[in-house]
Amino acid sequence: MKLNINHKLALAAFILSVSALGVSVFSGDTSSAKNEDEPQYITVLELAEQIKNREDFLLIDLRSLSDYNQFNIPTAKHLPIAELYDFNTEMEVQLIVYAEADSLSSLAFSVLKDKGFENMLVLKGGIQDWYNRLLYPKMPLTIPEEDIEIANHVKELSAYFGGRSQFVDEGNPLEYYKSTSSNQPKIKSQLVRMGC
Amino acid sequence: MNGPFFINGWIGEEASLIFALFIGITFGFFLERAGLGSAKKLAAQFYGTDMTVFKMMFTAIITAMIGLFWFNQFGWLNLELVYLTPTFIAPQIIGGLVFGVGFIVGGYCPGTSCVAGATGSLDGWMNVLGMLTGILVFGEFYPLLESFYNATPMGELTLTDYFNIPFGVMVFILVMVALAGFWASEKIETRLSSKN
Amino acid sequence: MPFLSKEAEPYWNPYLSGIGLGLVLLLTFLVMGRGIGASGAMTSVVATTASVISPHTTAANDFYQGYLGDGTVSPLKDWLVFEVLGVLIGGFLSGLFAGRTRIKIEKGAAITTNRRFQYAFIGGMIMAFGTKLARGCTSGQALTGGALMNVGSWLFMISLFAGAYATAWFVRRLWV
């Protein structure tokens, strides 16, 4: 039987996908496209507290140099993700990484973990949350009785880092400090917007 | 080699725009070459007389998919860093149905209407105008649509995560489905064009 | 122009063109870490226009804001906008070399030009609405998400074909 061009292409697709199947099955690769170690997080409040108390750790900013120069968290060192692969320091040092939001720092977490670092944390919500939740936190117009303590704590840290609280009339923004799972990052201008 | 180059900081934002232009030119070129700049050819997909849309679309999908698998396997591309549009089940199903209706009524999809317009089809430009208007309508009504737009969120979800099967196995399954689809397309085309 | 006088060439084999398109997509993933798109660029254009006409309402609208950013760079200086400019150039050149770039109106034999224009416009509107609801079009969702095995993209793609096949019979006079 003579194969025409379409048959040859189909055969090529077949061979490439069968070998993909083989590689996956025999290498015991149970993970899908994504295999991630769930990073351990630190909240902006905890980080602020630690900086204020001059605790011993290395804070790493993974964003681009221009972003870093424009604005960064006090004491942070700039180290882009590409250089992370060659990064070395003493293993005992407590590392804390942050980026724009969470995805890049989760990657950094797994890179560092592969390099053998154990002592590391990812700043939950990244620089976005630092800016929107710590430097310029939102407060409800009337602070509920049970939240006064947390509100004062946030206000104090915000003032320490030179920020200011804002009062807004929408829900209770203090809920954020109780659970860090939800965060709405501020939309930043960029030439490469992901998504359609 | 370690991709994605842009996210790893190997090419800058300005350079990425030039790359965008290059990618666009090749994208438009291949669409036009296959005949997808022609409304009649696009519409014929839905009357079974010309299955070019299906064939080209799925060939492109499985080509890129097989490539992604092997790039990931060789460590050339970190798939965790590739942007994945989050899944929102209800709006994406309804959106797809609405899109399909618009597609057969107008004769183009967004990319192909641009190609049609560029090759001188006046109806292609009318379609582009209609789309711009439609986006404006959507934007103006967005406050009303917002809750549905954000309904049934599933986050970043791949088929491999959802079905919990290895990447290579999923590649194999989808390639087999595509090849079966191509075989059926050829049969349908021969049957329906011999009738006329 | 020697190109314009020549006979239109036949189209390329759809599978070969598909492989070409797939490799372009793969290269985009490798270099950019994102896929290709089309409707996003149109949205940038609409959002920019809307913000010029009524800055206050667009500033309050999250949908537009996603495309406008914080105002430090022009929303039209965007990856997808440049990509779609490329699509126009690439389509034009391909058509030119194959003798297919010429002023024309594509329609079924049974309808008038005016009718065709009306339907092209209405179809575009409906499609745009679906696109925005689904967060992407045939390029941004079906092709890109399809290759990445994105669950939402596959749902979109299946619904797209279902919607079009279900409607095809009712609008057959437009095409056949």
Whether residue C86 lies within 8 A of chain B, CB to CB, comes out as yes
User: What's the structural domain count of chain C?
Assistant: 2
Best residue of C12, C15, C39 to probe chain A, by most A CBs closer than 10 Å:
C15
Same domain as A149, residue A92:
no
Q: How many domains does chain B have?
A: 1
- Chain pair A-B, CB pairs under 8 angstroms: 103
> Is C10 exposed, middle or buried (CB count within 10 Å of its CB: 0-12, 13-18, 19+)?
exposed
pLDDT at A28: 65
Q: CA angle, corner A37, sides to A133 and B150, nearest 5?
A: 50
> Above 60 in pLDDT, residue B61?
yes
Q: Is residue B7 part of a domain?
A: no
Residue-averaged pLDDT of chain B:
94
pLDDT category of residue A188 using cuts at 50, 70 and 90: low
C-alpha distances out from residue C121 to A160, C50, C133, Å: 58, 20, 19
Q: A80 — contact with chain B (CB < 8 Å)?
A: yes
**How would DSSP label each residue in A6-65?**
HHHHHHHHHHHHHHHHHHHHHTT--S-S---PPPPEE-HHHHHHHHHTT-S-EEEE-S-H
Predicted confidence at residue A166, as pLDDT, reads: 83
For testing contact with chain A, the best of B17, B172, B179 (most A CBs within 10 A):
B172
Q: Is residue A118 part of a domain?
A: yes
Pair B28, C90: CB distance under 8 Å: yes
Given CB atoms, is C97 within the 8 Å cutoff of chain B?
no
Boundary (domain end) residue, out of C103, C124, C149: C103
A51 and A110 housed in the same domain:
yes
Q: Is residue B1 part of a domain?
A: no
| C17 CB within 8 Å of a chain B CB | yes
Q: What is the pLDDT along chain C (176 residues), one digit of tens a residue?
A: 445 556 889 999 999 999 999 999 999 999 999 999 999 999 999 999 999 999 888 888 889 988 988 778 888 999 999 999 999 999 999 999 999 999 999 999 999 999 999 999 999 999 999 999 999 999 999 999 999 999 999 999 999 999 999 999 999 999 98
Kindly tell me if the per-residue pLDDT of B175 is higher than 90: yes
Share of chain A above pLDDT 70, in %: 88
**Judgement on whether residues A44 and A120 belong to the same structural domain of the protein:** yes
Say if the Cβ atoms of A192 and B62 lie within 8 Å.
no
At A168, is the secondary structure helix, strand, or coil?
A: strand
pLDDT value of position B39: 96
Name the residue type at position B138. F
Domain span at B120: 13-195
CA angle A21, A24, A25 (to 5 degrees): 85
Residue C145, amino acid:
G
Residue B8 covered by a domain: no
Answer whether C130 touches B (CB < 8 Å).
Answer: yes
**Has residue B57 been placed in a domain?**
yes
Residue that finishes a domain, picked among C103, C132, C147: C103
A29: nearest CB among B10, B167, B179: B167
Among A97, A113, A129, give the residue marking a domain's end: A129
Hey, what are C123's tokens?
């179809």
Q: Which residues of A touch C69 (CB under 8 A)?
A: 187-190, 193
CATH code at position A58: 3.40.250.10
Q: How many domains does chain A have?
A: 2
The whole-number average pLDDT for the span A28-45 is: 64
Mean pLDDT score, B60-69? 97
Cα–Cα nearest to A24, from C146, B164, B80: B164
Residue C26 contacts A, CB cutoff 8 Å: no
B20/A192 Cα distance (integer angstroms): 10
d(CA C72, nearest CA chain A) in Å:
6
Residue at B3 is within a domain: no
Question: In whole numbers, what is the pLDDT of chain A averaged over residues?
Answer: 80
Please give the pLDDT value at position C52. 92
Long-range (24+ apart) CB contacts under 8 A made by C1-8 are C3/C96, C3/C97, C3/C99, C3/C101, C4/C96, C4/C99, C4/C101, C4/C102, C6/C99, C7/C99, C8/C98, C8/C99, C8/C100
Q: Are residues C129 and C48 in the same domain?
A: no
Chain A residue whose CA is closest to C33: A194
Q: Report if pTM > 0.80.
A: no
Pair C84, C117 in one domain: no
Does the pLDDT at position B51 exceed 80? yes
Answer yes or no: do C110 and C76 share one domain. Answer: no
Do C142 and C160 sit in the same domain of this protein? yes
Q: What integer is the mean pLDDT of B107-120?
A: 96
Structure tokens at C14: 């759809």
Flag whether B154 is in a domain: yes
A182 pLDDT more than 50: no
Residue C12: DSSP 8-state = P
Name the residue among C43, C91, C104 with its Cβ closest to that of B31.
C91
pLDDT at residue B196 in the model: 58
Range of the domain at C69: 1-103
Strands (E), B13-168: 87-88, 153-155
- Which residue in the set C13, C72, C135 is minimally distant from A196, CB to CB? C135
> What local confidence, expressed as pLDDT, does residue C83 receive?
97
Suggest the residue from A18, A27, A32 to mutate for an interface test with chain B (most B CBs closer than 10 A): A32
- Same-domain status, C81 and C151: no
- Closest in B27, B63, B101 to C36, CB measured: B27
In chain A, residues with a C-beta closer than 8 Å to the C-beta of B73 are 20, 23
What's the confidence (pLDDT) of residue A33?
44
Confidence label for A92 from pLDDT (cuts 50, 70 and 90): confident
Its domain, for residue A115, covers: 5-11+35-129
Checking phi first, is residue B48 left (phi over 0); if not, alpha (psi -120 to 50) or beta? left
| C79 reaches A (C-beta below 8 A) | yes
Predicted local confidence at residue B170, as pLDDT = 96
pLDDT of C8-59, one tens digit each?
899 999 999 999 999 999 999 999 999 999 999 999 999 999 999 998 888 8
Q: C151: closest CA among B76, A14, B116, B154? A: B154
Determine the longest span between alpha carbons in chain B, in angstroms.
57
The domain boundary, picked from C55, C84, C103, lies at: C103
Contacts of B58 in chain A (CB under 8 A): none
| pLDDT of B106 strictly over 50 | yes
| Peptide linkage before B4 cis (omega within 30 of 0) | yes
Shortest Cα–Cα distance, B187 to chain C (Å)? 15
Whether residues C93 and C155 fall in one domain: no
